[in-house]
A and B are shown apart, each in its own frame.
Chain A
Amino acid sequence: MHEMALMGEIIRLIESDAKEREIKKVEKVELVVGDLSNALPDALQMAFEFYKLQELDFLDSNVTLLIIREKAKAKCISCDLEYEPDFRIAICPICDAPSGKLIAGESFAIKSYTGI
C-alpha cells in the first residue's frame, strides 16, 4: 500500500506546477494508471480523498480525481503478435513463448489537471 506516498508525490507535482502558472484552485485531476503499474486505482482514490480532507489551499473543496486505466499489452518477440497478457509473464497465445515484451500497461502519469 504505497499509494498514499504516490498520491503525495502527485499532489506535490501538481502544487508546484500550479504555483508556477499562478493557478489558485485545482478542480480536477486526471491520471493514467496502467494495469501493470503496481498502483491500485481504488487505493489511489482513497489516498486522494485523504488529501482532499486536508483542506490544502490550492485544492478546491470539490476537487475530483479521474483515473484512466491503461490496459496491458504485450508483443511476441517471435511472431510480432500483439496481445493482452494475463499478467507480467506475457505468454504468446500462438507461439506459447513466455518472453513477450510489454508495450503498454506500465504507465503511471498525471495526464492533466484543470484549475482556475
Chain B
Amino acid sequence: MEIRLNQDVYSHNNSLANQNREEFQRSHTLVINIMSSPGAGKTTLLEKTIQSLSKEYRIAVIEGDLATQKDADRIRSLGAYAVQINTNGGCHLDAKMVEKVLPEFDLEKIDILFIENVGNLVCPSKFDLGETHRIAVLSVPEGNDKILKYPVMFQKTELVVVNKTDLTPYLEFSIEQAIEDLKVINPESRLIPLSAKTNEGMEEWLQWVRSVYQKCSKQ
C-alpha cells in the first residue's frame, strides 16, 4: 500500500523550534543564533560582547562544537553561564539539541541568550533553533568571495558582522564590495565591520544588540 506523506523533512525540526521560540517569548529572552565558518571569531566576539554588556544584561551562552568544552570554558571564565553542546561529528545544531539543554537554563533570569552554532558556513543556516535573530560572522581573511559563494547563509540571516577588520591593511578584502554583494543576494540584510580584537567598530554591534533587545522585551 502506498502512503502519500508529503511531509517536509524539516517539519519535525521546525515544530520543535517553534516550541523553543514560545518558551523564549514567555520569559522575554532575546536569543541570537550566531553562525560562521570555523575561526571567523564567534567566540572572541562573544567574549568582548559579554565584557561590554554584562552590566546591562544577564547573558548566557549555548556553545555548539563537535568536541571539547573549550569554548564554554572561555565564556565561563568571564563569569557568564554557558552550556556546551557537543554534536560528536554533527555539522550543525538543531532544535532538538537546544531543547535538550534548555532545562539547564533559568530563562526568567536571562535577558540575552547567545547560541554559538557549529563553525560551518553551509548546514547551520537550514536549521531553525527557535532563535529571535540569526546573524552571520564573516572574517576578513576568508576573502570577499564568500558572500556570493555561500549565498544561503547570507540570505537566511539579517546581519553580517565582518570581523578582523584590523587585518585589512595586510589582506585583499573590500568592505564596500562585501556590502554590494550582500545587497544583491539579500537587500534586507546589513553589514557591520568590526575588530573584536581591537574593539574598533564594536559599538555599532553593541547598539544593534541593545536595539533588538528593546524590541524583544516589549513584546
Decide yes or no: A10 and B9 within 8 Å by CB, A112-B2, A112-B3 being known contacts: yes
Contacts of B109 in A (CB 8 A): none
Binds A, one of B64-72, B147-155, B193-201: B147-155
Identify which of residues 29-57 in chain A touch chain B, using a CB-to-CB cut-off of 8 Å: 31, 38-39
Q: What are 13 contact pairs spanning A and B, CB under 8 A? A: A2-B92, A9-B12, A9-B13, A10-B9, A13-B7, A18-B3, A87-B151, A88-B152, A98-B185, A108-B10, A109-B8, A111-B6, A114-B1
A81 at the interface (CB under 8 A from B): no
Residues of A within 8 A of B (CB-CB), count? 31
A108 closest partner in B (C-beta): B9
Residues of A within 8 A of B (CB): 1-2, 5-6, 9-10, 12-14, 17-18, 21, 23, 31, 38-39, 87-89, 98-99, 107-116
B123 at the interface (CB under 8 A from A): yes
A89–B13 CA distance with the chains assembled, in angstroms: 26
A9–B151 CA distance with the chains assembled, in angstroms: 25
Other A-B contacts than A39-B9, A116-B1, 4 sampled, CB-CB below 8 A, are A6-B9, A9-B12, A99-B187, A112-B4
A18–B1 CA distance with the chains assembled, in angstroms: 11
A109–B8 CA distance with the chains assembled, in angstroms: 4
Residues of B within 8 A of A (CB-CB), count? 26
Residues of B within 8 A of A (CB): 1-10, 12-13, 90-92, 94, 122-123, 126, 148, 151-152, 155, 184-185, 187
Per DSSP, chain B at the interface is mixed
Per DSSP, chain A at the interface is mixed
B151 closest partner in A (C-beta): A88
Contacts of A87 in B (CB 8 A): 151
A9–B12 CA distance with the chains assembled, in angstroms: 8
Q: Are A89 and B151 in contact (CB under 8 A)?
A: yes
A111: contacting residue among B4, B91, B94, CB under 8 A: B4
Contacts of A89 in B (CB 8 A): 148, 151, 184-185
Contacts of B148 in A (CB 8 A): 89
Contacts of B123 in A (CB 8 A): 2, 38
Q: Are B3 and A17 in contact (CB under 8 A)?
A: yes
A101–B109 CA distance with the chains assembled, in angstroms: 41
Contacts of A88 in B (CB 8 A): 151-152, 155, 185
